[in-house]
Amino acid sequence: MNQKRNVVIAIAISAAAGFLALHAARVSSPVPNSAPLTLTAAEAVVTEPPTFEPCAYTWAYENSPELTEKLDAAVKALNPTASGRTQWFGENCGYADGHSTFGVMETDFYVRSPADDLTNEEAFGNWMALVMPIIVQIPREEMKGNYGFVEFSFEKNESDHVIVRVPIQRYVNEAQGKTGAELFRMFYVQ
């Protein structure tokens, strides 16, 4: 048994020596029109393989201050009692040392407006028809990730409200030009 192991070790050492000899011959062989290349032990660079640092992914949101400012100003120009804000939705990659990185998946918009009558689908749809073109006209480079949604919140008070979520890409594909109750009903889910 020891004899077999010794033979295997001898073959491995011979193969390694042969590889090193070929490598040394190739490195020290001159390339036409150049000086010979030789490396000393001090010049040899050993690189460590990259390390992989695992992280834990969690859903996350981040505010978008500049885009919120633009949206809020545009919404207030249509109705001074309304407001708008923008958030990025994505994933936090949390590392063992406590730091995290955020990866954006989509840009989402939130528009709040007061409403005296929570059954006025025509008025809600017309408001949505005013706001959606503002969102669609925002240059793509100002958004991060994919189109998300616009969430309209029509509020009578803190507990009485109607919320309608409009996926932006679906609006672009299917609903541009629609207004009133038709637009409202297209996206409203009770």
Provide DSSP, 93-116.
Answer: EE-TTS-EEEEEEEEEEEEEEE-S
Query: Which one, of 166, 174, 89, 88, lies nearest residue 131 by Cα?
Result: 166
For position 25, what pLDDT does the model report? 43
pTM of the model: 0.70
For position 16, what pLDDT does the model report? 43
> Per DSSP, what are the bridge partners of residue 94?
56, 100
- The per-residue pLDDT string of the chain (190 residues; one tens digit each, 9 = 90 and over) reads 555 544 444 444 444 444 444 444 444 444 445 455 454 555 555 566 666 678 898 999 999 999 999 999 999 999 999 999 999 999 999 998 888 898 899 999 999 999 999 999 999 999 999 999 999 999 988 889 999 999 999 999 988 999 999 999 999 999 989 999 999 999 999 8
For position 27, what pLDDT does the model report? 42
For position 23, what pLDDT does the model report? 42
**Class of residue 60 by CB neighbours under 10 A (exposed 0-12, middle 13-18, buried 19+):** middle
For position 133, what pLDDT does the model report? 96
Question: What is the helix (H) or strand (E) element at residue 3, kind and residue range?
Answer: helix 2-28
For position 38, what pLDDT does the model report? 52
Query: How far is it, in rounded angstroms, from Cα 90 to Cα 146?
Result: 10
For position 120, what pLDDT does the model report? 96
Query: How far is it, in rounded angstroms, from Cα 128 to Cα 41?
Result: 71
Q: What one-letter code names the amino acid at 147?
A: Y
